[in-house]
Structure 1
Amino acid sequence: MFKIIANTLFLVALSAGTAQAWERVSTEAAFRALVVGHRQVVDGSGYIEVRADGSVRGQWNGAPVVGSWVWSDGYYCRNLRIGSTETGTNCQRIDSESGQIRATNDRGQGRSTTARIE
């Protein structure tokens, strides 16, 4: 019994030391430091680049991406055109973890996309 408990405690300690939790990006300054000027790459789909001047550029499923963004009330709000399709404005909750970001649509209530920051 002692051996089982010891092994369990060891595994818990090991996983606690290596696991990283997603952290909310809650300020524009933190968002800019993490994302602006870097590509956010979604394997198999494409990438976007969020720029300091408020523009967004990239490529998604072979189509060009153009648009604009602002930081509003703790959310990244962007309006994009992918090819000829307008996405409309969507404010996203941004979380980060080890060189990745997770953007969740509809102020954190919708679909999430995870991207690698390059």
Structure 2
Amino acid sequence: MTRFLLFSLVLASLTGPVSAQGFTRIESESQFVELAVGKTLYLGDTTALAQNDGRLIVVFKGKEITGSWAWKEGYFCRVLQSYSTKEDCQLWEYDGEDFQVTRDKGAGKVFLYTLEP
């Protein structure tokens, strides 16, 4: 029993952080840029596009909302100009197809962006 527990702990320490649904946290800005920047992401009838120059374009209920984004201490942080001027830093995870996003540095509402509508 002790060997099994020790083996399990060692195995867990060798793998990256993975949530129960198979999502792996995006840890760096370069990883985020590679996976998400320049790609239209879909959430129902909402779309989001993070651009290389730090601009963010969201279409929500048919209305275009612009903003800015930056990578800060392991989080995607965004400010939407005409919607809410409060910065929201979000934890982003990826499973190879979809992005699971948790607002408020991983303590808030969770939603799922897809690469296909």
Indicate the TM-score class for this superposition, using the shorter chain for normalisation: 0.7 to 0.9
| 1:32 matched residue in structure 2 | 33
**Sequence identity, in percent?**
29
Instruction: Report the Cα offset of residue 87 of structure 1.
Output: 4.7
Contact 2:41 2:49 in 1 (8 A): yes
Contact 1:48 1:65 in 2 (8 A): no
RMSD of the TM alignment (CA)?
1.7
| 1:15 matched residue in structure 2 | none
Tell me the amino acid that sits aligned with residue 98 of structure 2: Q
Hey, which of these two has a bigger chunk of strand by percent?
1
| 1:102 matched residue in structure 2 | 100
| 2:63 matched residue in structure 1 | 63
Instruction: Report the Cα offset of residue 85 of structure 1.
Output: 2.5
Tell me the amino acid that sits aligned with residue 54 of structure 1: G
TM-score, normalised to structure 1, is 0.76
Partners of 2:40 and 2:71 lie apart in 1 by 18
In structure 2, stretches of 5+ residues that fail to align are 1-20
In structure 1, stretches of 5+ residues that fail to align are 1-19
Contact 2:65 2:83 in 1 (8 A): no
Contact 1:105 1:111 in 2 (8 A): yes
Contact 2:99 2:113 in 1 (8 A): yes
TM-score, normalised to structure 2, is 0.77
Partners of 1:65 and 1:41 lie apart in 2 by 15
- Counterpart check, 1:115 vs 2:113: yes
For these two proteins, the number of residue pairs brought into alignment is: 97
